[in-house]
Amino acid sequence: MNFLFEKVAIITGASSGIGAGTAVHFATLGCSLALVGRNMEGLKKVAAECEERGLEADQILLVNTDVTREHQVESAVAEVINKFHKIDIVVNSAGCLTYGGLESTSEVFDDVFQINVKSIFTVCKAVEPHVSKSKGVIINVSSACSLRASPGLMIYGMSKAAVDHMTKTLALELAPKQVRVNAVNPGIIRTPIYEKTNTPWETTEEKMSIEGKKWHPLGRVGQVDDVAKAIAFLASDEGGFITGETLPVDGGRHISLPAM
Ligand SMILES: NC(=O)c1ccc[n+]([C@@H]2O[C@H](COP(=O)([O-])OP(=O)(O)OC[C@H]3O[C@@H](n4cnc5c(N)ncnc54)[C@H](OP(=O)(O)O)[C@@H]3O)[C@@H](O)[C@H]2O)c1
């Protein structure tokens, strides 16, 4: 079912993980894509997969952008408008996972907030006139860590709680323009993010599988597709009366007691 047919989506963090998976899923739904990231090799691979799923090369734009740089974000949005003339859907998936709390330096704190919070603020600011015109949708990739506190992840959890608050406030501010703003809050999803972090966790398949059973009542880690499908639902008219929602995609983690 091509339920995003003729829509135009910007996806940040599209070179890897949840952003990449969302791009590939959107490709199957007929959506033109602006894939935003810093890693052009990664973006090219994702674009090739989107073409395999049926998108024409002309329906894909690759934009080399550091989302923490306001001018680069503004140029990226201008580039998208220049090519596609509109923006219907914005998926803010660029982000980091950093382990740390009170023992962390203020530089670590600032970095996490710069990437996970300020970049979404900057992207939303840049796309607002365009989604207001198209009565579009914004979906922010938050985390289950915003809903449940996790020892060792204080700064990360705070950054995602800020994303949830931004989502709700922006939903109210843009509702009169018929723009919907929602977040998804994933649990542990198998992506390259675990290889990039400073966490003390082991990320072998075996260990991830144990963690999945421990933390998620559904007894497994999530896959990128689990999140991509929830994002597509919120982006589509199927979710047309939903705004300001923070949707857990976490196998029930947010309603469960702490793992023993
Ligand atoms: N995986 C999980 O278990 C999980 C759970 C809850 C929430 N999340 C959230 O989901 C989002 C996506 O994570 P993921 O698991 O898909 O991780 P990932 O595979 O590491 O992907 C992260 C993406 O963010 C991009 N990015 C990071 N900093 C950027 C910057 N300054 N400018 C432009 N792009 C930047 C990366 O692009 P480059 O290639 O350019 O670095 C990459 O495409 C993050 O916000 C994360 O916090 C993940």
> Residue 37: CB within 6 Å of ligand 1?
yes
User: Which residue is closest in CA terms to ligand 1's atom 14?
Assistant: 17
| pLDDT score for 159 | 98
The yes-or-no answer on residue 156 being catalytic is yes
Q: How far does residue 92's CA lie from ligand 1's centre (Å)?
A: 9
Atom of ligand 1 nearest to the CA of 67: 32
216-227 tens-digit pLDDT: 999 999 999 999
Ligand 1, residue 97: give the atom nearest the CA. Answer: 47
Q: Which atom belonging to ligand 1 lies closest to the Cα atom of 224?
A: 16
**Res 132: pLDDT:** 98
Could you give the CA distance from residue 110 to residue 101 in angstroms, rounded to a whole number?
12
Which helix or strand (DSSP H or E) is residue 164 part of?
Answer: helix 154-174
Longest CA–CA separation in the chain, Å: 53
The one-letter amino acid code at 226 reads: D
How is domain 8-197+224-247 classified at the CATH fold level? Answer: Rossmann fold (3.40.50)
Distant-in-sequence, close-in-space partners of 106: CB < 8 Å, separation ≥ 6: none
Q: Domain residues of the chain, as ranges?
A: 8-197+224-247
For residue 82 the two structure tokens come to 């220049």
State the pLDDT at residue 1. 63
Question: How remote is the CA of residue 128 from the centroid of ligand 1, in Å?
Answer: 22
| Phi, psi (rounded to 5 degrees) for 10 | -100, 130
- Exposure string of 35-60, with b = 16+ CB inside 10 Å and e = fewer, is bbbbeeebbeebbeebeeeebeeebb
Give the pLDDT confidence score for residue 24 in this predicted structure. 98
- Which atom of ligand 1 lies nearest, measured to the CA of 227? 10
Q: How far is the CA of 15 from the centre of ligand 1 (A)?
A: 9
163 Cβ below 6 A of ligand 1: no
Closest CA to 181 of 121, 96, 260: 121
**Residue 52, CA distances (Å) to 5, 24, 55, 75, 241 in order:** 17, 9, 7, 28, 32
pLDDT at 206: 86
CA-closest residue to ligand 1 atom 42: 13
User: What are 27's two structure tokens?
Assistant: 């490709």
The ranges of the chain with pLDDT < 70 are: 1, 260
* Residue 174 identity (one-letter amino acid): L
251 touches ligand 1 (CB under 6 Å): no
Q: Tell which one of 10, 11, 35, 97 to mutate to probe ligand 1, the residue whose CB is within 8 A of the most ligand atoms.
A: 97
Q: How far is the CA of 12 from the centre of ligand 1 (A)?
A: 9
DSSP label at residue 63:
E
Atom of ligand 1 nearest to the CA of 193: 20
Q: What pLDDT sits at residue 260?
A: 57
Query: What's the pTM value of the predicted model, to 2 decimals?
Result: 0.98
Catalytic pick among 84, 156, 194, 215? 156
- Helical packing angle, 17-28 and 40-52, nearest 10°: 30
The whole-number pLDDT of residue 138 equals 99
Q: Coil, strand, or helix at residue 185?
A: strand
Q: Is the CB of 192 under 6 A from ligand 1?
A: yes
Whole-angstrom Cα Rg for the chain = 17
Asked whether the beta carbons of 148 and 188 are under 8 A apart, the reply is no
Between the CA of 176 and the centroid of ligand 1 the distance, in Å, is 31
Parallel/antiparallel/unpaired status of strands 137-141 and 89-92: parallel
